[in-house]
Chains A and B, each alone.
Chain A
Amino acid sequence: MKVSQRSIKYYVFGFYLLILVTWQMLFSAQIIPDYMFPSPLQVGQRLWELTRDNYLWPSVKATFQRMGIGFSIAASAGLLIGLFMGMSRVVNGCLRSLFLGLQTLPTAAWVPVSLLIFGLSEHGIYFVIIMSSAPAVAIATSDGIQHIPPIYLRAARTLGTPGYAMPTRVMLPASLPSIVTGIKLGWTLAWHGGVSAELIKSTIGLGFLLQMGRELNDAAQVIGIMVLTILFGLLLDRFFFGLIQKRILIRWGLAQKS
């Protein structure tokens, strides 16, 4: 069966509607007690209350501020380290295994270390965000640089590009498709790490609201904040990094306009 791009959207919409309806039906069937399993309506209501009482917006803002600053530092550091890895086989040999190892570590595992080093301060959250995401960006950048078609480097050299200008004029632009993939992955990991750190270390933020919900035994708040966290993560992935990635791929001729 051939399904057009347009009607796929309706299917997707129907799918989420189905999830909501099933969720409501499970709730109405009263199989699980409702203090453990709230209805979509209760979740929505709780989120509205949080908004009304001015809890939600400052927390969303705080989380995004931390993510924005933390991830900018992580991405810049990852880019720079990745550049050195891409240009030197020695640096690459040393750091690649280390970074791949660090990536197998769950991002939440950085939280205890950050507590030891930074206590309950704000810096610790940045630390977790950076440690969670910088290695992914570095590895993607070095991969991209190592896989630059040699002809681009030759062409740049024959056109008189001096050695010091190669990274900015040729290497980084040539590996952009790989770098943006790394940044997308890095963002997801940073989001994981950031919210995990907020669970324990903060008095404001999405992670904090999640933890507060647990302490108050408020299942509606826990699930509501989870849904919001998923939603924000998804929105940024699809509509911010996703659109940047798409533009680059179209420019390169690797994807079609649609």
Chain B
Amino acid sequence: MAAEAHPPAAAVTERPVKLKLTGVSKTYWNGSQVVEALQPVNTEIREGEFVVFFGPSGCGKSTLLNIIAGFEDVTKGEITLDGKPVEGPHHDRLMLFQEHGLFPWLNVIENVMFGLRRKYRFKWKARREKARQFLQMVHLEEFEKAAIHELSGGMKQRVALARALAPDPKVLLVDEPFPALDALTRAKLYWDIQEIFQRTKKTIVLVTHDPREAACLGDRVLVFSGRPGRVKADITIELPRPRDINDPVVAECANGIMAQLEAPGE
């Protein structure tokens, strides 16, 4: 695959702000005391930016993603999308889950068509056409009639990706989508996701605990540290795309991210 020139980071900062997080924090009562799951987070995610939330488990990165998706409430603070405060789950902030969440009662193409109902009401043919385009994008057009359980793990994640992209969400939220896959399948998916990112210019927020994954995919990496969860560093990665997960430069960059995580706090 030829390395296409990716707009440098400077161009990103000139784009309009998509998601704005102002003092977003989360505390909960565990029965005996108040637990601080997430200390206030302030950040702006711009249109077409690929932001990675990186950190160890229990650092609040998944909590923050769920808050953005609307599955969890904020304790304090505010999130706006295109300037408007967000409330509850909505298809403009679509989530791609760790365990794909494909519906077993529908076949592959019907799964992709599921999220297109709103846009193409009573237009079954238009829905199917659109779904086919997205299946082509993830190279699964031959499997449109297959049942979900007939697919491999990597293929299921691809269908889930197609299903999430088809309704054209403003922001795609991705929750550790690749841990259960083998190395080869993962490497292929990294290529695909970057290709799709460059083609669709989607705003993507991805959660991971793998520094290589963060270095390979992110324009920007927010490094989270645990107990209490907080953002420790905000790193901009200016490597050309598409990046190869096995490239030494990416590995070096991943080391830099790890160093930020292990650095003593301020």
A residues engaging B (CB < 8 A)?
Answer: 151-152, 154-161, 169-170, 173-174, 176, 250-253
**4 further contact pairs, Cβ within 8 A, besides A159-B94, A160-B167, A251-B104:** A156-B103, A158-B69, A158-B93, A159-B167
Instruction: Say whether A173 contacts B94, CB under 8 Å.
Output: no
CB contact under 8 A between A154 and B104, given known A160-B90, A160-B115: no
Indicate if B188 sits at the interface (CB-CB under 8 A): no
Candidate in A155, A156, A176 with the most chain B CB atoms within 10 angstroms: A155
Instruction: Tell whether B99 is near chain A: CB-to-CB under 8 Å.
Output: yes
Is B56 positioned at the interface, with any CB of A under 8 Å from its CB?
A: no
Q: For residues 115 through 153 of chain B, which have their beta carbon under 8 Å from a beta carbon of chain A? A: 115, 117-118, 147-150
A155 with B101: CB separation less than 8 A: yes
Partner of A155, one of B97, B147, B149, B167: B97
The winner among A158, A250, A253 for most chain B CB atoms within 10 A is A158
Query: Complex formed: what's the CA distance from A225 to B163 in Å?
Result: 55
CB-CB nearest in chain B for A160: B91
Q: Does B95 contact A (CB under 8 A)?
A: yes
Number of interface residues of B (CB under 8 A): 27
Q: Is B228 an interface residue (CB 8 A)?
A: no
Is B105's CB within 8 Å of the partner chain A? yes
CB of B115 within 8 A of CB of A159, answer yes
Pick the 7 closest A-B CB pairs, nearest first: A253-B149, A160-B91, A159-B115, A155-B101, A173-B105, A151-B101, A157-B89
**Does any Cβ of A come within 8 Å of B114's Cβ?**
yes
B71 within 8 A of A: yes
CB pair B147 A251 closer than 8 Å: yes
Least distance between A93 CB and chain B CB atoms (Å): 24
Asked whether B90 lies within 8 Å of A251 as measured between CB atoms, the reply is: no
Neighbouring A residues of B118 by C-beta, 8 Å? 160
A155 to B115, CA, bound (A): 10
Q: With A and B bound together, what is the CA distance between A156 and B148 in angstroms?
A: 16
Residues on B with C-beta less than 8 A from A250 are 147
- Please indicate the chain B residues that have their CB under 8 angstroms from the CB of A157 in the complex: 89
CB neighbours (8 Å) of B114 from chain A are 156, 159, 161, 169
Given contacts A253-B148, A253-B149, contact A154 B101 (CB under 8 A): yes
CA distance A231 to B102 in the complex (A): 40
Q: How far is the CB of B158 from chain A (nearest CB, A)?
A: 15
* Max chain A C-beta neighbours (<10 A), residue from B90, B101, B117, B167: B101
